[in-house]
C-alpha cells in the first residue's frame, strides 16, 4: 500500500521529467501548437517611425508646392518621396519642393523613410492646384462696314491655365463654329446693322465675357466698286487705269416711264478716271413691280465708255424675284437680291464693230 509520502515523491519525479523535456520539444517544434512569427532580431535597429507626416497643400497653377516629413530611428534615416505611388527622381531629403502645374491637381504625395531596420511609408497628402483665369488684354472693337462686305472682330488674351477656349456670340446667342480668337462675319446687309458681338473666353477657372462690339452696316453707295479696263480697245479709255465710283455724276434713276402702254425704268451708274468715264445702265423694258427699286428687274444692260463712243447694249433678262442671273458667254453675273453686278473678263467692243475692251470688277447698286 502506497503511503502519502511515496505519492508525493512520485508526483515530483513526473514534474521534474516534464520540465527537463520542455526545451527539447520546443527545439523540435513539438508541443502541439503553432511556432508563431519569428522574433525580431535583437541585433538590428527598429524601422523608422514618423514624427511628422506630409500635410495636404493648395497652390496656384505655376506655383511651388512644399511638403515636409520627419522620421526618427536608430542610425541614418533615408527618404524617398513618391507621387501617385511612383518615386520622384532626386527627392531624397525630408523636404520636397515641387513645381506645380494644373496637370498635377489631385496628385497623392507620400514619402518612404528607411534605415537598416526596414522601411516605413508616411500618410498620403493631396496636392491641389488652383487654375488661373485668363486676362483679356484687347477687347473686340466696334466695326463699321458697307452692306455687301464682311466684318472681323478680334480679342487678345494673356495668361490663364490652358486650355483657353473661345465662343463668339451675336446679341447674346452662340455663333456656330466661331471658336477662335477672331471671327469674320458672313456678307452683311442692312438688316445686320446694330448687332453686337462679344466672345466668351473660358478655361478650367471659369468663363469671362468680353465687352460687346457694335456693328454698323452702312448702305452701300450706289455705284460702289471698282472697274478695271484692259485689252486692245482700252488704249482709248486709259488702259490699265482703275475706274472708281464718282460722286460728281452720281447715279441716275429714271422711270418708270410709259409709252403706248409699255413702261420702262432704268438705273445709270458712273465710274471715272481723270478725263474719262464709264457708265453702266440697268434697264427694265417692261413694267417693274409697283414700288420696286430701280434695278430690281433687268432686261438689258447698256455699257457706255467715255470719248463719245456711245453705248453697247446687252440683252440680259433677270426678273424681279430671281436670286441671280448669269450670262456666261460674257462673264456677267447679276444678283438682284444682293444688288451686285460682277464682270469677269467681260469682253465687249467699245462700240458696235469697234476694238474690244475687257472689263473686270464688281459694282453694288
Task: Name the residue with cell 513645381.
Answer: 99
- Higher-pLDDT residue of 199 and 316 is 199
Contact between 336 and 296 (Cβ < 8 Å): yes
Burial of 261 from C-beta contacts in 10 A (0-12 / 13-18 / 19+): exposed
pTM of the complete model: 0.53
Residue in 176, 169, 153 with CA at minimum distance from that of residue 209: 169
pLDDT score for 282: 74
- Tens of pLDDT, residue by residue over 115-124, are 999 999 999 9
- Cβ neighbors of 131 (< 8 A, separation 6 or more) are 61, 102, 105, 160, 161, 203, 204, 205
Cis peptide before 175 (omega within 30 of 0): no
Paired sense of beta strands 311-318 and 298-305, if any: antiparallel
- Higher-pLDDT residue of 86 and 293 is 86
Asked if residue 153 has pLDDT above 70, the reply is yes
Q: Distance between alpha carbon 136 and the CA centroid of its chain, in Å? A: 15
pLDDT score for 14: 43
Amino acid at each position: 500500500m502506497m503511503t502519502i509520502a511515496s505519492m508525493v515523491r512520485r508526483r515530483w519525479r513526473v514534474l521534474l521529467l516534464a520540465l527537463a523535456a520542455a526545451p527539447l520539444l520546443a527545439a523540435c517544434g513539438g508541443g502541439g501548437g503553432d511556432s508563431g512569427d519569428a522574433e525580431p532580431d535583437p541585433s538590428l535597429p527598429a524601422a523608422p517611425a514618423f514624427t511628422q507626416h506630409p500635410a495636404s497643400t493648395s497652390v496656384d497653377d505655376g506655383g511651388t508646392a512644399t511638403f515636409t516629413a520627419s522620421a526618427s530611428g536608430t542610425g541614418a534615416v533615408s527618404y524617398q518621396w513618391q507621387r501617385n505611388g511612383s518615386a520622384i527622381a532626386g527627392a531624397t531629403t525630408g523636404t520636397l519642393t515641387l513645381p506645380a502645374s494644373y496637370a498635377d491637381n489631385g496628385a497623392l504625395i507620400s514619402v518612404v523613410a528607411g534605415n537598416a531596420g526596414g522601411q516605413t511609408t508616411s500618410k498620403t497628402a493631396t496636392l491641389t492646384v488652383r487654375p488661373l483665369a485668363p486676362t483679356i488684354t484687347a477687347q473686340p472693337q466696334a466695326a463699321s462696314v458697307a452692306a455687301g462686305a464682311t466684318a472681323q472682330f478680334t480679342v487678345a488674351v494673356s495668361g490663364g491655365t490652358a486650355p483657353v477656349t473661345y465662343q463668339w456670340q451675336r446679341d447674346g446667342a452662340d455663333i456656330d463654329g466661331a471658336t477662335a480668337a477672331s471671327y469674320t462675319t458672313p456678307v452683311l446687309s442692312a438688316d445686320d446693322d446694330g448687332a453686337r458681338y462679344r466672345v466668351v473666353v473660358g478655361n478650367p477657372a471659369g468663363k469671362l465675357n468680353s465687352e460687346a462690339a457694335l456693328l454698323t452696316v452702312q448702305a452701300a453707295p450706289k455705284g460702289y466698286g471698282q472697274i478695271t479696263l484692259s485689252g486692245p480697245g482700252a488704249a482709248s479709255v486709259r488702259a490699265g487705269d482703275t475706274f472708281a465710283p464718282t460722286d460728281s455724276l452720281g447715279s441716275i434713276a429714271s422711270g418708270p416711264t410709259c409709252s403706248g402702254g409699255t413702261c420702262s425704268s432704268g438705273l445709270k451708274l458712273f465710274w471715272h478716271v481723270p478725263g474719262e468715264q464709264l457708265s453702266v445702265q440697268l434697264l427694265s423694258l417692261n413694267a417693274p413691280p409697283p414700288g420696286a427699286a430701280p434695278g430690281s428687274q433687268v432686261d438689258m444692260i447698256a455699257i457706255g465708255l467715255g470719248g463719245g463712243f456711245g453705248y453697247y447694249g446687252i440683252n440680259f433678262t433677270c426678273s424681279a424675284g430671281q436670286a441671280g442671273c448669269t450670262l456666261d458667254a460674257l462673264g456677267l453675273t447679276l444678283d438682284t437680291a444682293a444688288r451686285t453686278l460682277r464682270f469677269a473678263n467681260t469682253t465687249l467692243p467699245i462700240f458696235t464693230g469697234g476694238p474690244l475692251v475687257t472689263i473686270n470688277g464688281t459694282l453694288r447698286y
